[in-house]
Amino acid sequence: MALVNCPDCGKMNVSDTAEHCPECGYAIKKHFEREKEKAYYQKKEEEEWKKVQNELNRELEIIDELKPSPKPIKPSKFKHMFYYNGNLSLLSWALIVGIILFFLCFVSTAIFSVLLAVLIVIGIPVAAFITYLDYGIMYNCYKRDYDDWMEQQNDWDGYIKKKKAAVQEKYKDVASNIAHYGTKAVPSYPSRNNNKLKCPICGSTNVNKISTLNRTVSVATVGLASSKIGKQYECKDCKHKW
């Protein structure tokens, strides 16, 4: 617990755990709970943004260390169709299996021979089609790498600037999202009017706190008959004290 000034009316020495300000009825406790919550999420947001900045700087450092790429090698369609990455391609294996099945047709029963023939007729074209699609994917990758290599050759400095701009644009979007969604929406505290002290007799909010000096003067003047003894508030409309 700490003594603070009321954020609304400025009354001094009010407990930060008090439900309402005794002077104006402001929601003291809820105000400071909300401020603590806002500070917590602000800190989380700053930590998240620091991580983003570190990641951005790391990516920019990687770009600064880049060296021009070697010229990419155009893939051979023939080699790829039959021999790929030091191994036989799918089509090569399909042809080998097809040849084996072809010879098995001569030593098998009629029904089994028909099944083997169907496998040969269907399997080899399917394997060829799949291998061709794979070559198409590889060629597209080569084309992309070749265009990238050409851009490096024509303007290396411009290439680096373009890379950095792309990274910075990506993190600009991240920063925008953090700024927009990073802080948790904290509930607003009740409005001041809802927390004003009300007279228990007439319901009026035209209420004044009876100061210590006022109470002392009243007792000194009237004595024990003073109506302000033991009272804290006075309604200005109906004059009720409580």
Instruction: Determine which helix (DSSP H) or strand (DSSP E) holds 88, and give its type and residue range.
Output: strand 87-88
Torsion angle of C-alpha atoms 59, 61, 65, 71, degrees rounded to 10: 20
pLDDT score for 195: 47
Half-sphere exposure of 235 (CA within 13 A, CB side): 15
Looking at this protein, which amino acid is placed at residue 221?
A: T
How confident is the model at residue 178, as a pLDDT?
A: 63
Q: How does DSSP classify residue 65?
A: T
In tens, the pLDDT along 193-214 reads 444 566 766 667 777 776 554 5
Q: Is 87 helix (H, G, I), strand (E, B) or coil?
A: strand
pLDDT at position 148, please? 80
Which residues have a Cβ under 8 Å from the Cβ of 210 and sit 6 or more positions away? Answer: 228, 231, 232, 233, 234, 241
- Report DSSP letters for 93-151, one per residue: HHHHHHHHHHHHHTTS-HHHHHHHHHHHHHHHHHHHHHHHHHHHHHHHHHHHHHHHHHH
Q: pTM (2 decimals)? A: 0.35
pLDDT of amino acid 180: 60
Predicted pLDDT of residue 11: 81
Structure confidence at residue 78 (pLDDT): 66
Low-confidence ranges of the chain (pLDDT < 50): 183-195, 213, 215-217, 219-225
Query: Residue 85's pLDDT is what?
Result: 62
CA 179/CA 184 separation, integer angstroms? 11
Residue 223: predicted pLDDT: 46
Query: With 0-12 CB in 10 A as exposed, 13-18 as middle and 19+ as buried, what is 177?
Result: exposed
Residue 45: CB atoms within 10 Å? 16
Per-residue 3-state assignment (H helix, E strand, C coil) for 173-233: HHHHHHHHHCCCCCCCCCCHHHHCCCCCCCCCCCEEECCHHHHHHHHHHHHHHCCCCCCCE
